[in-house]
């Protein structure tokens, strides 16, 4: 296990480990907390439907995800209808995929060397006994409503390990996978910066640098808009907020989409202005 891969063997697992397994040709990963005795506590919209976008994308990803082909696990039973925080055996959690260990307290150099998000963080993990207590408490009391953008399986696992929550209203969750996605969008929508350099090599370096910076500043171990919340307080607050919290999450998603659209419009407007200016200069020169 290292920079190239976080893959581990089952014999290496320890209770309290944050583990994950890639799904659907490495498009996304499902995360959970290993609690010992071959069992994993994890958070899902429904078994096999971890993406939870609420769009047709769910059907595409679900249709190509590993399934039990109608075979009910002797240890877990039929979990196909379950959702929220559930307890599954390793075989059901992995769904035919490989086993990987999420790293904590990594160096900045190691973090940036891992080009794919959702595999490590600069944040430190709490002791295993605290991690297990959080996971088991949330198994009994829930972790709110599943949301790909604000409250997903990686968010659940990271909270169990660190107790940290993002407190700003307009931001993505703690997920490194979403941070990578957001950083990639920023690199693409910031195309006006391409005028600062010429050539494919320069553009590649610029986009790569923006991607790395975006991932780095979004990491739970770096950002300043996080606080440590006891698990009992988290559950109590979720029960009070109820539907209002879900509505706020939807509003945040809409705001994020609007911001991305605005960035694209700005890009187009910039291109039009610059092209018009270039045309005017050519006319004047003529």
- Between vectors from CA 74 to CA 72 and to CA 75, what angle results, nearest 5°? 115
Q: Is 73 a catalytic residue?
A: no
Sign of CA dihedral 133, 13, 43, 115: positive
In whole angstroms, how far apart are CA 191 and each of 184, 187, 199, 261? 12, 7, 14, 14
Listed in order, strand segments (DSSP E) in the chain are 18-23, 28-36, 39-44, 84-89, 100-101, 164-166, 226-228
- The catalytically annotated residue of 18, 31, 42, 92 is 42
- Orientation of helix 231-241 relative to helix 243-285, angle to 10°: 80
Alpha carbon of 7 to those of 10, 13, 192: distances in Å?
10, 11, 39
Strand ranges (E), 240-285: none
> Which member of 18, 30, 76, 160 is catalytic?
30
92 is catalytic: no
Contact (CB, 8 A) for 104 and 200: no
- Two tokens, residue 226: 């996080």
Residue 30 appears among annotated catalytic residues: yes
**Look-up of token digits 């047709």:** 56
Tell which residue, 46, 44, 47, 48, has the closest CA to residue 63: 48
Q: What angle do CA 270, 275, 277 make, to 5 degrees?
A: 95
Q: Which of 76, 92, 120, 153 is catalytic?
A: 153
Q: Which residues are catalytic?
A: 30, 42, 153
């Amino acid at each position: 296990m290292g920079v190239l891969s976080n893959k581990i063997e089952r014999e290496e697992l320890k209770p309290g480990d944050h583990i994950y397994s890639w799904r659907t040709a490495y498009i996304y990963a499902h995360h959970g907390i290993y609690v010992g005795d071959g069992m994993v506590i994890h958070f899902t919209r429904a078994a096999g439907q971890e993406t939870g976008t609420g769009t047709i994308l769910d059907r595409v990803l679900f249709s190509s995800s590993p399934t039990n082909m109608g075979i009910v696990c002797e240890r877990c039973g039929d979990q196909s209808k379950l959702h929220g925080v559930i307890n599954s055996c390793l075989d059901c959690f992995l769904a035919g995929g490989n086993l990987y260990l999420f790293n904590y307290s990594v160096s900045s150099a190691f973090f940036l060397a891992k080009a794919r998000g959702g595999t490590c963080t600069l944040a430190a993990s709490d002791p295993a006994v605290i991690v297990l207590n959080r996971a088991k408490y949330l198994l009994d009391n829930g972790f709110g409503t599943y949301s790909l953008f604000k409250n997903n399986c990686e968010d659940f696992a990271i909270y169990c390990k660190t107790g940290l929550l993002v407190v700003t209203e307009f931001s993505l969750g703690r997920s490194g996978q979403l941070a990578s996605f957001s950083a990639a969008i920023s690199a693409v929508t910031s195309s006006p910066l391409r005028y600062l350099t010429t050539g494919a090599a320069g553009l590649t370096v610029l986009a790569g640098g923006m991607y790395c910076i975006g991932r780095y500043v979004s990491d739970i171990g770096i950002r300043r808009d996080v606080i440590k919340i006891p698990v009992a307080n988290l559950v109590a607050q979720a029960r009070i907020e109820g539907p209002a919290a879900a509505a706020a999450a939807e509003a945040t998603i809409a705001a994020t989409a609007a911001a991305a659209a605005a960035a694209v419009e700005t890009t187009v407007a910039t291109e039009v202005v610059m092209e018009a200016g270039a045309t005017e200069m050519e006319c004047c020169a003529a």
